[in-house]
């Protein structure tokens, strides 16, 4: 009996969700034999097991094989309270970061967590979830409206490496080779190659008016999305002939505004030195707008010392701002 139970658990692990790509009894038999010599049984035995399991589990079959019923999950052990609470917190966070189409792919797990939490609330007036919160570090902008059909096609194209024909606002139709999707704040970007060009570009998905699959063959070329992001593209990179792409930043923080860098470092290579009335901060950085926006957020409590070109940029920005405010 113990071996039968183990075998049945292993079979359930291999069942896909939904009827589009079910697994046949023949394939299940082959998987079992590869997994453990003790699992060598006939197809008739496997069919009988699955028929019995389907009487109390959300599994079904069609002419091609067996699968888990769409929108259901095989969460056999009861989800612990701690796990359910973490899942609920994760959903709150993901709802702010990820598109709904992606979060919905794992909605059955979140639903299971919600059911478990509701069960706990019926028995107790105090649960772990009520004692933990995630708050944004800065002001959150509203998410732009995105056509769900367009979003679904783009996700599918990235996953299955398909060429798309896209129509962007104010532009003619173009063929693109999707390479990745980047979520930055409320904006979702698609990273791609246009036509037969090798250079990599990206643009917000909100620019898309229409999108459809192309019959063109996807051209595979070496590309790393992580390396592309690490290069500073979503920083967003500043490419100026008289400015370095990377440099050592030296800045002075006044009135205690840089103290947080002692606890949450800007980088692993940063250096901090306490002076009489300021904190001197040194770190290697990439030349990006994100860096400038971060520094500007400290207002008059930060002074850029080096490199000279960045100090000049800040002096000019401050002079322009002073001129505007001096009009009153």
**Which CATH number covers residue 169?**
2.30.30
Say whether both 46 and 94 belong to one domain: no
- The reported pLDDT for the residue numbered 106 is 77
Examine residue 142 and state whether it is found in any structural domain, yes or no.
no
Say whether both 16 and 56 belong to one domain: yes
Nearest to 182 by CA among 101, 99, 245: 99
- Let me know: does 231 contact 285? Beta carbons within 8 Å: no
Q: Which of 199, 230, 261 is the last residue of a domain?
A: 230
Say whether both 99 and 173 belong to one domain: no
pTM value is: 0.63
- The reported pLDDT for the residue numbered 1 is 44
Number of domains observed in the structure of the chain: 4
Examine residue 154 and state whether it is found in any structural domain, yes or no.
yes
CA distance 25 to 17: 16
Domain coverage including residue 36: 2-68
Residue 286 pairs in a beta bridge with 246
Say whether both 55 and 95 belong to one domain: no
Examine residue 11 and state whether it is found in any structural domain, yes or no.
yes
Examine residue 236 and state whether it is found in any structural domain, yes or no.
no
CA distance 140 to 119: 33
Residues 6+ apart with CB under 8 A from 194: 174, 175, 176, 177, 201
Q: What is the CA radius of gyration of the chain?
A: 27
- The reported pLDDT for the residue numbered 249 is 96
- The reported pLDDT for the residue numbered 55 is 87
Q: Which residues of 205-240 are buried (b: 16+ CB within 10 A; e: fewer)?
A: bbebeebeebeeeeeeeeeeeeebeeebbbbeebee
Per-residue pLDDT of the chain (328 residues; tens, 9 = 90+): 456 777 888 888 888 888 888 999 999 988 888 877 777 888 999 899 899 888 888 889 999 999 988 777 665 556 777 788 888 888 877 776 666 767 777 777 788 788 788 877 777 766 777 777 777 777 777 777 888 888 888 988 998 899 999 999 999 999 999 999 988 877 889 999 998 888 899 999 999 999 999 988 888 888 899 888 877 777 676 666 677 788 999 999 999 999 999 999 999 999 999 998 999 999 999 888 889 999 999 999 999 999 999 999 999 999 998 999 988 7
Q: What are phi and psi of 211, to 5 degrees?
A: -155, 140
Examine residue 164 and state whether it is found in any structural domain, yes or no.
yes
Pairing of strands 200-204, 187-194: antiparallel
Q: Which of 230, 262, 285 is the last residue of a domain?
A: 230
Examine residue 211 and state whether it is found in any structural domain, yes or no.
yes
Say whether both 282 and 254 belong to one domain: yes
Examine residue 319 and state whether it is found in any structural domain, yes or no.
yes
Q: Which of 195, 230, 265 is the last residue of a domain?
A: 230
Distances (CA, A) of 202 to 67, 80, 267, 290: 38, 42, 26, 17
CA distance 157 to 159: 5
Residues present in the chain in total: 328
- Let me know: does 177 contact 214? Beta carbons within 8 Å: no
- Let me know: does 88 contact 114? Beta carbons within 8 Å: yes
- The reported pLDDT for the residue numbered 74 is 67
Say whether both 160 and 224 belong to one domain: yes
Say whether both 54 and 88 belong to one domain: no
Say whether both 250 and 225 belong to one domain: no
């Amino acid at each position: 009996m113990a071996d039968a139970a183990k075998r049945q658990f292993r079979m359930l692990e291999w069942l896909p969700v939904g009827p589009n790509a079910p697994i046949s009894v023949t394939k299940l038999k082959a998987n079992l034999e590869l997994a453990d010599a003790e699992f060598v049984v006939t197809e008739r035995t496997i069919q009988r097991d699955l028929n019995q399991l389907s009487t109390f589990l959300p599994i079904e079959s069609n002419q091609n094989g067996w699968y888990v019923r769409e929108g259901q999950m095989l969460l056999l052990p009861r989800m612990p309270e701690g796990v359910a609470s973490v899942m609920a917190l994760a959903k709150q966070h993901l709802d702010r970061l990820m598109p709904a189409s992606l979060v919905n792919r794992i909605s059955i797990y979140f639903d299971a967590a919600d059911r478990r939490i509701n069960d706990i609330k019926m028995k107790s007036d105090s649960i772990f979830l009520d004692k933990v919160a995630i708050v944004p570090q800065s002001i959150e902008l509203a998410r732009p409206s995105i056509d769900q059909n367009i979003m679904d096609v783009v996700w599918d194209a990235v996953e299955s490496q398909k060429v798309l024909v896209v129509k962007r606002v104010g532009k003619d139709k173009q063929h693109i080779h999707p390479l990745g999707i980047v979520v930055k704040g409320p904006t979702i970007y698609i990273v791609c190659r246009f036509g037969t060009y090798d250079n990599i570009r990206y643009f917000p998905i909100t620019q898309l008016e229409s999108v459809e699959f192309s019959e063109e063959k996807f051209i595979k070329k070496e590309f790393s999305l992580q390396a592309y992001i690490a290069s500073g593209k979503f920083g967003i990179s500043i490419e100026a002939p008289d400015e370095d792409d990377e440099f050592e930043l030296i800045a002075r923080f006044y009135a205690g505004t840089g103290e947080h860098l002692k606890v949450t470092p800007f980088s692993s290579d940063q250096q901090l030195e306490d002076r009489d009335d300021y904190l001197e901060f040194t770190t290697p950085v990439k030349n990006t707008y994100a860096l400038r926006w971060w520094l500007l957020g400290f207002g008059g409590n930060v002074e850029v010392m080096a490199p000279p070109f960045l100090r000049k940029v800040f002096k000019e920005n401050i002079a322009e701002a002073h001129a505007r405010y001096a009009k009153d």
